[in-house]
Structure 1
Amino acid sequence: MDIGVAAAAVVHALVDRGETLAVAESLTGGLLAATVVEIPGVSAVFRGGLVVYATELKHSLAGVPEKMLADRGPIDPDVAWALAEGARSRCGADWGLATTGVAGPEPQDGKPVGMVFVAVAGPARTQVRQLKLTGSRADIRHETITSVLALLVDELRQPAHPSAPS
């Protein structure tokens, strides 16, 4: 899915549903938010974002537990989960997106270049996906944004308020 198409699909679906979005970004350093706000009409749905590049800011701004960061490091599926939930709760949004990983050019904290975790926190559940990306630093960051937006598009295709099983 093209990055612009994915961003537009997210914004239009959120407008249709009357729901809002916030982001917590590490390796994408604000590019996810910048990509989303390129779409006309985004002001109706985008609450804001946290660029938490430094590990300690993942705790102080996004609410990731210090012990989790100390035990696992910043590149971990549970950290991605906590970042998405933190963006959602701290920005008062219906949906939260998160990106964390290694864009390169060197490995970080024993994690290889291209190891990325993206997460989508929503009203009913939180999804985390691990990505194993290749290419340049720019390629990895771009594919991370495309992947997290596509994950949110998949979630938004679900009914807004699923009915209880009968």
Structure 2
Amino acid sequence: MAGAGVTLEELKKRLAEFAKERDWDQFHSPRNLLLAMVGEVGELSEIFQWKGEVPRGLPNWKDEEKEHLGEELSDVLLYLVRLSDICGVDLGKAAMRKLEINAIKYPIKPCKGSSEKKHTQINADSHNDASGDDVAGSIYSDNSTSNSGV
């Protein structure tokens, strides 16, 4: 499973198996998973807290620091995948839909190379509604492993 090419679906299945084998489903409510993920985001933040701006690729980081970063990033990802599964959201579809919405909110020409304006300012002249309502496809998975009462 380790390495390139792992899908969100594979992670979702492995996490569901992992939790089931340990009888952890009873603890995996959306609230509990979210709070655990927020804790992991805090641990991830601590890695960067006193480093200032860090160049891409982390060229000056030790191997141990990069390994620790990978572990914390993985913790956040695993909780996010598990939370989306428990909530019945197809995370891959939701992410692709969000990219489409963002493409509407942030058209290339007025946005390229700029972080000055908010999307509402960029779209004021060209779009009355940048809500993404015209983006097709449901993000809700058909076969969530969650219980309907969760």
Task: Decide: shared fold, TM above 0.5.
Answer: no
TM-score, length basis structure 1:
0.22
Instruction: Specify which structure has the higher proportion of helix.
Output: 2
Instruction: Specify which structure has the higher proportion of strand.
Output: 1
From the CA coordinates, give the structure whose radius of gyration is larger. Answer: 2
TM-score, length basis structure 2:
0.24
Structure with more relative contact order (C-alpha pairs < 8 Å, separation 6 or more): 2
